[in-house]
Structure formats: structure tokens, C-alpha cells
Amino acid sequence: MAQVSSIANEQTSTPLSSSTSITLRISRFNPEHDESSGFMEFSVPVQKWTTVLEAILEVKKHFDHSVAVRYSCRQATCGSCGMIINGKPRLACFTKISELNSNVVTVEPMNNFPVIRDLAVKFEKLFDSHQKIKPFLIRDDTELESDEKEFLQSPEEVEQYIQFANCIKCGLCNSACPTMATDSSFVGPQALAQAYRYVADTRDKGKDSRLKIIDDSHGIWRCHFAGSCSQVCPKGVDPAMGIQLLRGYLLGFRS
């Protein structure tokens, strides 16, 4: 990345009624023609409710429309706008600039994901790992007959897995995981937490096949319970808990 510029004093074409502004440092990298990444700095007016995503979109609108960022729902539901914000993986739409307590906000692409451009990363491996653990109910009687009722569960049975069903596949957990940082073959906390989600579901009958998939040297045994995945999850999924509970099945603590 050759060009690093600062246009901190430039005025926006549509001034906002804001008394404060922050410096937004955006990582720029295009793998097609850049050797390394660099930062561009922009002075962005902010309100106390301004999110990091809104600040990035402000830059795209008024300063540099070529900044690459993936986003969609703007409400922490689609899992598209994960990025490293001031050193930690977070959702840009779910992170208010005011809560960062800094006048300088640095945004970078998520670690442990190949970079498409700037802040956008490839999710293929995440989705492949997710698919690998069979993220669906496995039953012999898959199709319901017309006179049958749905599969009933008690509230207690739902509690066993509902937390893990909140996963939006944003990849923040995989980005924070220290094992993912060094092991390219590790299945990752996202997929392991989802394996637990289905294993703990009383409607599911695929426990043995799923445990066989994750019982691998690059599977569940590579998790060392650092817990960083749970600390960055924006939906309260707590992958570290799911992984340890899942390991309990393999170690014979649970059945």
C-alpha cells in the first residue's frame, strides 16, 4: 500500500450539526496490486450515537467512495460488518464511537480471514467449517406425516441450545481465537459452538456423527479455553462454553 494520506481538515459537503470530530484511520489494501496494507486518515464529525459503520459510510460519501466495506442490516443481525476496531474484533454497526473513549478510531480487516479489499474479508472457510458440522437437525423421520404434530420441546430443553442458535456467523470469534491465529486447519469456535447447538437439541439424532467430525487433531482438541471468542461475540453466544460442554460429551462427562 503506497498511498497514505490525511485530509483531516477537509470540510464535508453537507456539514453535520456536530461539535466533535474524530480521526478515523482506515486500513487500505488491495491484494491485486498492493504489497502491504497502509492507513488513510479522515476527520469525521460524530454524534454520541454515531456508530463506526456510520463513520465509515460518511467517509465513503464525502471523502473516498473506494473504501471497501461489507454491510447490510445495520442492526447486528446480518453479521456482515465485522472488523478490528481499535484492536478488537467488533461489529461496526454495533459499536458506537462514543463507547470507544478515543478520538482516534482505527479500523482494520478481521484477522484470520483472507482480505478481499480494505475492510472486506472472505467468509468461504467460515461457511465451509459451519457446513462441515452439519448445521441442521438429523432424524430418520425427517418428513412429518400429515396427521403428526411438530416435534415438541419443553422450555428447559430449548434453554440447552437457544443461546447458541443466536449465532449470526459474523466471524468475530474466529478472528479473536488464538488458535485460529496460528492453525489454518482448525475448525474454529464458530463451527464448534454450532456443533454443540445441534448436539444439545433434543430433536436431533446426529450427535455421534457430529462428534466424529470434530474429534480431530485440528478439531475440538485444539481449543485451549482462552475464552476470547466469547468476549467478542456480539450476540451472547458464548462459544467457549459450548465448546467445553461439547468436549464433555467426548470425555464422558456428559451423555
Partner 1 sequence: MANDEHKEGIKGMANPGRYGIERVAYWMMRLSGLGLLAYFIGHIYETSNILRGQVGWDEVLELTQTTEAHIVLAIVIGMCVFHTVNGVRVMLGHGGIGVGKPARPDYPYEPASQNYRHKIGIYSAILLAAIAMMYGLAVMFGE
Does 206 participate in binding partner 1 (rule CB under 8 A)? no
Does 161 participate in binding partner 1 (rule CB under 8 A)? yes
- Applying CB under 8 A, the span of 4-12, 13-21, 135-143, 242-250 interacting with partner 1 comes to 242-250
CB of 211 to partner 1, least distance (A): 14
Q: Please state, in angstroms and as integers, the Cα–Cα distance from residue 42 to each residue in 30, 34, 172, 198, following that order.
A: 19, 21, 25, 45
Q: Please state, in angstroms and as integers, the Cα–Cα distance from residue 109 to each residue in 56, 69, 79, 157, 160, following that order.
A: 13, 9, 14, 38, 33
Please name the residues in contact with 190: beta carbons below 8 A apart, sequence gap of 6 or more: 126, 129, 130, 167, 169, 171, 173, 174, 229, 239
CB of 251 to partner 1, least distance (A): 5
Give dist(CA 50, CA 36) in Å, integer: 30
CB contact at 8 A, 72 and 36: no
Residues 27-46 within binding reach of partner 1 (CB under 8 A)? 29, 31, 34, 36-37
CB of 243 to partner 1, least distance (A): 9
Q: Using the minimum distance from each CB to partner 1, give the nearer residue, 21 or 203.
A: 203
Does 226 participate in binding partner 1 (rule CB under 8 A)? yes
Quick one: DSSP state of residue 19?
S
CB contact at 8 A, 100 and 14: no
Length of the chain in terms of residues written: 255
Query: How is residue 15 written as a grid cell?
Result: 456539514
- Applying CB under 8 A, the span of 8-16, 53-61, 158-166, 204-212 interacting with partner 1 comes to 158-166
Query: How is residue 175 written as a grid cell?
Result: 478472528
Beta bridge partners of 45: 21
Per-residue binding letters, 7-26, with partner 1 (x by CB under 8 A): --------------------
CB contact at 8 A, 77 and 29: no
- List the one residue from 73, 178, 205, 208 that touches partner 1 (CB under 8 A): 178
Does 188 participate in binding partner 1 (rule CB under 8 A)? no
Does 93 participate in binding partner 1 (rule CB under 8 A)? no
Give dist(CA 173, CA 241) in Å, integer: 13
Does 217 participate in binding partner 1 (rule CB under 8 A)? no
φ, ψ for residue 43, nearest 5 deg: -95, 120
Does 70 participate in binding partner 1 (rule CB under 8 A)? no
- Applying CB under 8 A, the span of 5-13, 51-59, 136-144, 224-232 interacting with partner 1 comes to 224-232
Query: How is residue 37 written as a grid cell?
Result: 496494507
Residues 131-150 within binding reach of partner 1 (CB under 8 A)? none
Residues in contact with partner 1 by CB under 8 A are 29, 31, 34, 36-37, 87-88, 109-115, 121, 159-164, 166, 176, 178, 180-182, 184, 200, 224-228, 230-238, 240-242, 244-245, 247-248, 251, 253-254
